[in-house]
Amino acid sequence: MAVFVMQSLGCEVAALNTVQFSNHTGYRQFKGSKTSAKEISDIYEGLKENFLDDFDVMLSGYIPGAEAVKAVGKIAEDLRLLDPVMGDEGKLYVNEDVVPAYKGLLRMADMILPNQFEAELLSGVKVDSIDALRSVIMILHAKYHIPHIVVTSLSLPGNPGTLAVVGSTTRSDGSPRLFKVDIPTIDCFFSGTGDMFAALTVVRFREAAATGGLCGTKAWVSGDEVEAVRLPLAKAVERVLASMHAVLVKTKEARDKQLSGIEGVLAGKSKKVQHLRTTKATEVQLVRNLQALREPKAEFFAQVLEG
C-alpha cells in the first residue's frame, strides 16, 4: 500500500519487500515467506553498487523478526524515518524480540509514527490521559533524541466518537511543540491504515518542509519561533488525515454495499468464512479514490496541545 500511495503522489520509490505474503495478516491466514536479514542487506548493497541509492527518505514498515529489523537499521544509517510496526489494540503482531530491536534503532530516526500501543511499548508509559501522552512524547524526544514524533489512533478520555493524532517537533532546547488533530471515528475495521498514514506523511512532510525552506536543514526541523500548529509536520498531518478520512469513508460505503448483497449467503457460513469475506470487502479502496489522495479537501485542523 505504501508504495502505491507514494508513487501516486509523484515519488520515485525503490521497494524492498520484507515479506512476500499472499495477503495482509488481517485475514488471519496467509501463504508466503519472510525476506531474510541477509537478503535485505544484499538487495540494498546492490542498489548502492549501481548508484541507485540517492534517496531522501527511508520509510520502514512491517518487519516481523529482530534480525531483519537490525538489517533495516543498517540502511537507516543512510536514510532515516521509522514506522515501528509492532502491533495495535494491545496485541503484538510481530515476534517479541522485535520490540527491543526497534528500540535500538530509535536514536537513528528523524521521525517515528507509532500508534498508541506502539508508543506505550517504546516509552514504557501507559497512555490513559492527556498528561500521560505528553509524558510519552517527552520521553521519546528526550531519551532517543527523535526530532519529529506522531502518535496515531489515540482514543483520549472525554472524546467519544473521535480519534486523535498527536504530533510534536522539538525546539533547539529539546522541548516539545505539541499539536493535536481530531477526526471522527468510522464504524469499521480497516487493515493497512498505518501504512497509508506513514506513506502520506512522508510525502506531505517533504512537501511542507520544502515550502518552509527546510530541505537543507538537519532533519527538516523548524526554528524555535514556529508555533506548533504552524509546523510543517502539523500541516502535513492535516492533509494526511483529510485524504485518509475521505478514502476510508468511501471504503466503508463500498464494503456495506458489497456485504448487503451477500448477507443471506454469509448467514449460513462458518465464522472463519464470514471473517474472510468481510475482510475482503473492507480492503482499502485506494485506486478508486486517487483524487482524495492527491487533492484532499481541508477538513481537519491542528490545535495546540500545551506541553
DSSP the chain: -HHHHHHHTT-------SEEESS-GGGS---EEEPPHHHHHHHHHHHHHTT----S-----B--SHHHHHHHHHHHTTS--B--B-EETTEE-S-TTHHHHHHTTGGG-SEE--BHHHHHHHHS----SHHHHHHHHHHHHHHH--SEEEEEEE--TT-TTEEEEEEEE--TTS---EEEEEEE--SS--SSHHHHHHHHHHHHHHHHHHHTT-TTSGGGPPPTTS-GGGSHHHHHHHHHHHHHHHHHHHHHHHHHHHHHTSHHHHHTS-HHHHHHHHHHHTS---GGGHHHHHSPPP----EE---
End-to-end CA distance of the chain: 34
Set of cell numbers at residue 267: 448467514
Could you give the CA distance from residue 99 to residue 84 in angstroms, rounded to a whole number?
Answer: 9
Q: Cell 521519546 sits at which residue? A: 140
Supply the pLDDT for residue 100: 86
Give the residues across from 33 on adjacent strands.
Answer: 20
Q: How big is the chain by its Cα radius of gyration, in Å? A: 19
191 residue type, one letter? S
Q: Tell me what pLDDT residue 79 has.
A: 65
Q: Which three cell numbers stand for residue 146?
A: 527523535
Cα angle: 79, vertex 80, 85; to 5 degrees = 125
Cα–Cα distance between 113 and 128 in angstroms, integer? 19
Query: 38: how many CB neighbours lie within 10 A of its CB?
Result: 11
Count of positions (residues) in the chain: 307
Per-residue model confidence (pLDDT) at position 307: 55
CB atoms within 10 A of CB 259: 16
- Domains of the chain as residue ranges with CATH: 86-304 (3.40.1190.20)
> For each of the chain's 307 residues, which pLDDT tens digit applies?
999 999 999 999 999 999 999 999 899 999 999 999 999 999 999 999 999 999 888 898 888 889 999 999 888 877 655 666 666 766 666 677 888 888 888 888 899 999 998 999 899 999 999 999 999 999 999 999 999 999 999 988 778 899 999 999 999 999 999 999 999 999 999 998 999 999 999 999 999 999 999 999 999 999 999 999 999 999 999 999 999 999 999 999 999 999 998 888 888 899 999 999 999 999 999 999 999 999 999 999 999 987 5
178-184 and 303-304 strand pairing: antiparallel
